[in-house]
C-alpha cells in the first residue's frame, strides 16, 4: 500500500493477458458498431479503411512501446506526456484523452442499444429495432427514444458497478476477449461459406465521385477502433517483465486485430453488400449475421442470435473498459494536481476513484443523446490529437534525455514518430474538413470541450497559486 492508499498492483499479467487487453479494446465494439457507418461513407472500401487505420496506428504503436518500456508508470499516454511536456501541454493531453474515452463510452452505449433491441427482436420479445418507437415517460410527458433510454441505462449500470467496486482483473478481460474473437470467427466461417458470399460484389470498390479519397473520412471516423494501446499501457505495472512484454503485446494485438477486421468486414460487405451494411448502421454486423446464419436451431433458434449476442456483449465490455480508462485518466490528473485533488483520491469505503468515475459517467450520459456518428467522430478526433502528442513525446524525450535507458528502442528513429505525426495530422485535417461539411455539432462540441479545458486550467492554476502564497509555496504553477 502506498501513502495514497493506492493498491500496489501485482505483476501477474502475462504476455497473453496484456495482448488480450489490447485486443479486447480494439476488437469488439468498434467492429460491431462502426462497420456499418464506415460502409456508408466508403462503400466496399470499408475493408481498406480498417487495414489502413491499422497501418497508420502502427507508427503510434511503436512510440507507445518505446515510452511504455522506459517510463515505469501505469496511466497510458497521459502519464508519458506528463513526464515529457510542461504543465499546459500535459494537461491538454489528459483533458483530450479523458474526453476521447468518455465519448467512446457514449458511442459504445449507443451501439449497445440497437444491438440489444435486435437481440430482443430475434427472440420475438420486441418488434424490429426500426419499429420500436419512443418510450413515453408518464412523469415528464415527453417521449425518449428507446435507444437513448437503453444507452443511458447501460451507462448507469456500468458506472455504478465501477464506482462501487474495483474493476475485474485482466484475466477476466482475457476470457471476454476470447469469447468475442470466438463469436467473430463463427461469423466469418459461416459468412465466407454462405451462398451470399460466393456471389460477393466488391465492385465498384470506391463508389461515388469522391473516389479513393472517400476512404480518408471513413478512416477518421473509425480510428477510435484502434485506441487499444493506450489501454495496454494503463496496466503496464501489472504486467510481468513489462519491458519485453509490452512492446510484444502492442504489436501482437495490432496484428491480430487487423486480420480479424479484414476478415469480418470482408464477410460483412460480401454478404450484406456495402449498401445493406450502411443501412443497418450500428447493428450492421448483427444484421448481416441474421441474414446468413442458419435458423431453426434448438434453444438459440436463430444462428444470428449468437452474433447479435456477441455485439451486445462486446459493446457492454467495451463500455466497461472505457469507464475504467476514462476514470483512470481523470484519477491520474487529480493525483498530478492537474484536476481537483478529489479526482485523485480513492473512496474511503469502496476503494475506487469514485469522483473520477462519477464525473466521467456524467459526461458519458450527456453524450448518449448525440447521434452515434457524431460520437464516433469526436472520439476519433481526440484520439488522433492525443496520438500526435504521444509521437511528439518520443522525439522530445530522445532529444532532451539521450542517456535515458530505453529497453525497447523503436527502429529507424526518427522516421516512425514523424510518420505517425504526419499521418495522424492528415487524418485530423480530413476529419475536421468532413465535420465542417456534415457534422458541425460534433466540431462545435469538440472546440467547446477544449475551451472548457482552457478555462478549467486557468481557474485551477489561479486557485493553486493563491493557495501556494499562503501555503507551502511549492505548488506554484509550472514548478513541477
Partner 1 sequence: MPSHLTIIIAGGGRVGYQAAVTLDDRGHDLTVIERDPDRCDAIADEYVATVIRGDASNPDILGQAGVESADVIAGLTGEPGLNLAVCMEAAELAPGIRTVARIDSTERAGYRRFVDETVFPEDAGARVAVNEIEGSDVRSLADVTGDLDIVEIRVEEGAPAANKELRETRFPAGTLVISDDDGDRVARPDTTLTPGKRYVIAVESDVADEVMNLLRG
Note the residues at the interface with partner 1 (CB under 8 A). 2-4, 6, 8, 11, 69-73, 83, 236-237, 241-243, 335, 337, 400-405, 407, 472, 474-475, 479-480
86 three-state secondary structure:
coil
Q: How far is it, in rounded angstroms, from Cα 246 to Cα 232? A: 7
Provide, rounded to whole angstroms, the least separation between the CB of residue 4 and partner 1.
5
* Distance, CA of 135 to CA of 222 (rounded, Å): 30
Nearer to partner 1 (CB atom), residue 180 or residue 335: 335
Sequence-distant contacts of 437-442: CB under 8 A, at least 24 apart: 439/373, 439/374, 439/377, 441/370, 441/374, 442/370, 442/374, 442/377, 442/378, 442/381
Helices (H), 336-371: 354-367
Hey, is 297 helix, strand or coil? strand
Closer Cβ to partner 1, 50 or 229, answer by number:
229
- CB of 385 closer than 8 Å to CB of 428: yes
Contacts for 378 with CB less than 8 Å, ≥ 6 apart = 99, 100, 103, 370, 442, 445, 446
Alpha carbon distance 104, 123 (integer Å):
29
- Our CA angle for 450, 456, 459, nearest 5°, is 145
When the beta carbons of 237 and 275 are compared against partner 1, the nearer one is 237
* Cell numbers standing for residue 338: 492537474
Grouping H, G, I as helix, E, B as strand and the rest as coil, residue 145 is strand
Query: Based on CB atoms, which residue is closest to partner 1, 232 or 263?
Result: 232
- Residue 183 CA, chain-centre distance (Å), reads 20
* Phi, psi at 297, each rounded to 5°: -80, 155
Residue 236 vs 391, nearer CB to partner 1: 236
In 3-state terms, what secondary structure has residue 239?
strand
Report in angstroms how near the CB of residue 77 gets to partner 1 at its nearest: 16
E strands, 240-370, are 295-297, 301-302
| Closest CB 344 distance from partner 1, rounded Å | 9
Quote the least distance from Cβ 325 to partner 1, whole Å: 20
Q: Which CB atom, from 53 or from 236, has the smaller least distance to partner 1?
A: 236
* Alpha helices (runs of H) in 214-241, residue ranges in sequence order: 215-222, 228-234
Closest to partner 1 by CB, 10 vs 201, is 10
**Phi and psi dihedrals of 7, rounded to 5?**
-70, 130
What's the grid cell of residue 414?
526518427
Residue nearer to partner 1 on the CB measure, 72 or 208: 72
Cα–Cα dist 283/306, whole Å = 13
Q: How far is the CB of 8 from partner 1 (least distance, A)?
A: 6
If the CB atoms of residues 154 and 356 are measured against partner 1, the closer one turns out to be: 356
The least distance separating partner 1 from the CB of residue 7, rounded to whole angstroms, comes to 10
Nearer of residues 5 and 429 to partner 1, judged by Cβ: 5
Residue 166 CB, shortest distance to partner 1, in Å, is 17
Nearest distance from C-beta of residue 323 to partner 1, angstroms: 23
Which residue shows C-alpha cell 470482408? Answer: 266
Q: How far is the CB of 404 from partner 1 (least distance, A)?
A: 5
Shortest gap between Cβ of 143 and partner 1 (angstroms)? Answer: 49
SS3 137: coil
Which residue, 18 or 267, is less far from partner 1 as judged by CB? 18
Amino acid at each position: 500500500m502506498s501513502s495514497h492508499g493506492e493498491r500496489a498492483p501485482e505483476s501477474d499479467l502475462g504476455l497473453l493477458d496484456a495482448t488480450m487487453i489490447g485486443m479486447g479494446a480494439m476488437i469488439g465494439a468498434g467492429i460491431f458498431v462502426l462497420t456499418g457507418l464506415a460502409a456508408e461513407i466508403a462503400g466496399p472500401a470499408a475493408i481498406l479503411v480498417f487495414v489502413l487505420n491499422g497501418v497508420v496506428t502502427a507508427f503510434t504503436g511503436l512510440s507507445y512501446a518505446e515510452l511504455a518500456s522506459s517510463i515505469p508508470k501505469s496511466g497510458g499516454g497521459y502519464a508519458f506526456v506528463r513526464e515529457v511536456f510542461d504543465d499546459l501541454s500535459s494537461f491538454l493531453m489528459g483533458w483530450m484523452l479523458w474526453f476521447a474515452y468518455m465519448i467512446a463510452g457514449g458511442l459504445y452505449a449507443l451501439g449497445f442499444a440497437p444491438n440489444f433491441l435486435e437481440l430482443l427482436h430475434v427472440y420475438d420479445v420486441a418488434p424490429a429495432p426500426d419499429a420500436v418507437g419512443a418510450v413515453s415517460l408518464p412523469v415528464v410527458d415527453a417521449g425518449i427514444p428507446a435507444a437513448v433510454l437503453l444507452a443511458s441505462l447501460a451507462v448507469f449500470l456500468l458506472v455504478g458497478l465501477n464506482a462501487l467496486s474495483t474493476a475485474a482483473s485482466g484475466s477476466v478481460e482475457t476470457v471476454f476477449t476470447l469469447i468475442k474473437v470466438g463469436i467473430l470467427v463463427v461469423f466469418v466461417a459461416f459468412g465466407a461459406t454462405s451462398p451470399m458470399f460466393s456471389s460477393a460484389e466488391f465492385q465498384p470498390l470506391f463508389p461515388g465521385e469522391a473516389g479513393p479519397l472517400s476512404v480518408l473520412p471513413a478512416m477518421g471516423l473509425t480510428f477510435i477502433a484502434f485506441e487499444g494501446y493506450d489501454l495496454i499501457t494503463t496496466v503496464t505495472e501489472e504486467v510481468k517483465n513489462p519491458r519485453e512484454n509490452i512492446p510484444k503485446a502492442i504489436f501482437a494485438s495490432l496484428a491480430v486485430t487487423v486480420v480479424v477486421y479484414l476478415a469480418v468486414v470482408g464477410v460483412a460487405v460480401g454478404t450484406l453488400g456495402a449498401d445493406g451494411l450502411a443501412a443497418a448502421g450500428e447493428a450492421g454486423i448483427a444484421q448481416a449475421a441474421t441474414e446468413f446464419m442458419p435458423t431453426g436451431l434448438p434453444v438459440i433458434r436463430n444462428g444470428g442470435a449468437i452474433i447479435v449476442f456477441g455485439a451486445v456483449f462486446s459493446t457492454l465490455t467495451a463500455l466497461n473498459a472505457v469507464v475504467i480508462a476514462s476514470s483512470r485518466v481523470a484519477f491520474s490528473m487529480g493525483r498530478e494536481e492537474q484536476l481537483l485533488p478529489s479526482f485523485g483520491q480513492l473512496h474511503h469505503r469502496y476503494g475506487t476513484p469514485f469522483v473520477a468515475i462519477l464525473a466521467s459517467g456524467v459526461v458519458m450520459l450527456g453524450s448518449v443523446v448525440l447521434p452515434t456518428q457524431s460520437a464516433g467522430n469526436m472520439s476519433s478526433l481526440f484520439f488522433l490529437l492525443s496520438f500526435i502528442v504521444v509521437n511528439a513525446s518520443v522525439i522530445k524525450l530522445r532529444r532532451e534525455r539521450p542517456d535515458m535507458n530505453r529497453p525497447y528502442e523503436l527502429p529507424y528513429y526518427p522516421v516512425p514518430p514523424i510518420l505517425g505525426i504526419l499521418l495522424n495530422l492528415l487524418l485530423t485535417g480530413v476529419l475536421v474538413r468532413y465535420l465542417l461539411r456534415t457534422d458541425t455539432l460534433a466540431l462545435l462540441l469538440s472546440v467547446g470541450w477544449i475551451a472548457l479545458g482552457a478555462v478549467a486550467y486557468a481557474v485551477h492554476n489561479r486557485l493553486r497559486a493563491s493557495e501556494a502564497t499562503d501555503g507551502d509555496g511549492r505548488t506554484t504553477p509550472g514548478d513541477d
